[in-house]
């Protein structure tokens, strides 16, 4: 995963680094957004190109110039790790193994639900 630093470099072996590389690399995975780093924005947040999160506008629409992709992560949620402070209407385990607060009616806001880790 591309690190969150201004001068990230692709090094030999396809590894990203914030420091200088011993040898330059040719193929590193594209920058992606870490689901665990999603900010707690009032209208939600979107993953932008370059692997950065951005809060959505007042209408809940993305403010990104171009959409990004979520990093692959464990596809389940660990019980007992729900958001703190707790969600008013409960939380659901969503795609990528990330907890999301439910909507005002207690319904999940994610497109796909993920299982709880065993």
Distance CA(80)–CA(96), nearest Å, equals 17
Residues 6+ apart with CB under 8 A from 97: 35, 73, 74, 75, 76, 77, 114, 117
pTM of this prediction exceeds 0.75: no
Residue 2, both tokens: 């591309």
Q: Per-block average pLDDT, block size 10, for the chain (118 residues)?
A: 71 78 73 78 87 90 89 74 86 87 93 83
pLDDT score for 77: 85
DSSP 51-70: TEEEE--TTS----SSB--B
pLDDT score for 4: 66
pLDDT score for 84: 78
Distance CA(57)–CA(30), nearest Å, equals 26
pLDDT score for 68: 87
């Amino acid at each position: 995963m591309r690190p969150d630093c201004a001068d990230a470099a692709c090094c030999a072996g396809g590894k990203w680094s914030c420091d200088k590389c011993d040898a330059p690399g040719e193929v590193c995975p594209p920058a992606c957004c870490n689901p665990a780093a999603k900010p707690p924005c009032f209208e939600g947040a979107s993953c932008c190109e370059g692997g950065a999160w951005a809060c959505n506008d007042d209408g809940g629409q993305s403010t990104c110039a171009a959409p990004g992709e979520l990093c692959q992560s464990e596809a389940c949620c660990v019980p007992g790790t729900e958001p703190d402070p707790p969600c008013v209407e409960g939380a659901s385990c969503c795609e990528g193994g990330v907890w999301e607060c439910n909507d005002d009616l207690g319904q999940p806001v994610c497109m796909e639900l993920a299982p709880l880790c065993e």
